[in-house]
Amino acid sequence: MIWIELLESQAEGALDAPSQRNLANIRAMALKMSDLISAQIALSAQPEAKAATERVDLAAAVRDAITEVSPQLDDLGAKVTVGALPLVRGDARQLTQLFRNLLENAVKYRRDGVQTEIAINGQAGEPAGAGGFEIAVEDNGRGFADEDAQRIFEPLQRLEENGADGQGLGLAICKTIVERHGGTLCAEGRPGEGATFRIALPEDRIYR
């Protein structure tokens, strides 16, 4: 990041608009890789660690995630809708990363020739349990077969037949983040139609 900041300072006012966008994308990718490395270190070093319990506006975490992924979303003309979400007890940065990874997954496994649509909605109670809350992240991408529903959360696992780039860490990190918040993460695939990722948070993580 130091070298990127140095380049930005030296090139200030000298770059045209496309070059400025390219430099901004380089910065965004560097930040993403830094987060991935940090998350993977945490995943390996402290798999049972619990997340913080600070007050977090989940809707704000989703907005931040959308902002971070906006270059990809804008390039695709993707449509993202967000329903009502609660205040929770947790780690704001981890929760933002959770939704960013899920958004990037939807972008990565999109269907060609179809506008990418992503819906993020929540509901209280079942199946998160009495007093809990479930958040569903649904897309209209390529989907996956039922037998892959568990494998996609394993580190370094990717659905090779879909031909998407990536390190195979994003969903594994998502699962760890949710579990550190005392919740569960599962996925439902509909081949050729899309996928739904369901985050269930327990009552003690919902801020009331």
With 0-12 CB in 10 A as exposed, 13-18 as middle and 19+ as buried, what is 12? exposed
Give the tens place of pLDDT for each residue, 129-175.
667 999 999 999 999 998 898 889 887 656 655 455 555 678 999 99
pLDDT value, residue 26: 72
One domain, residues 32 and 57: no
Task: Give the pLDDT mean for 122-126.
Answer: 82
How much helix, strand and coil, in percent to the nearest 5, is found in the chain?
45, 20, 30
pLDDT > 70: what percent of the chain?
A: 72
C-alpha span between 121 and 164 (Å, rounded): 26
One domain, residues 1 and 87: no
Compute how many other C-beta atoms are within 10 angstroms of the C-beta atom of residue 143.
21
One domain, residues 131 and 151: yes
One domain, residues 38 and 65: no
C-alpha span between 20 and 71 (Å, rounded): 13
One domain, residues 132 and 70: yes
Instruction: List the domain range (segments joined by +) for residue 39.
Output: 1-45
pLDDT value, residue 73: 95
Query: Sign (positive/negative) of CA torsion 160, 150, 90, 141?
Result: positive
Quote the mean pLDDT of the chain: 83
- For 112, phi then psi, to 5°, come to -70, 140
One domain, residues 146 and 162: yes
Residue 126's pLDDT band (cuts 50, 70, 90): low
Q: Return the DSSP state at 193.
A: T
One domain, residues 149 and 187: yes
Domain boundary among 12, 29, 45: 45
Residue 194's pLDDT band (cuts 50, 70, 90): very high
One domain, residues 105 and 198: yes
pLDDT value, residue 17: 75
Which of 58, 78, 81, 64 minimizes the C-alpha distance to 199?
A: 58
One domain, residues 85 and 8: no
Longest Cα–Cα distance in the chain: 58
**In the predicted model, is pLDDT for residue 204 greater than 60?**
yes
One domain, residues 41 and 60: no
One domain, residues 19 and 59: no
pTM: 0.78
Domain boundary among 45, 62, 77: 45
Give the tens place of pLDDT for each residue, 15-56.
677 766 766 777 676 776 676 666 666 655 565 667 788 999
One domain, residues 179 and 84: yes
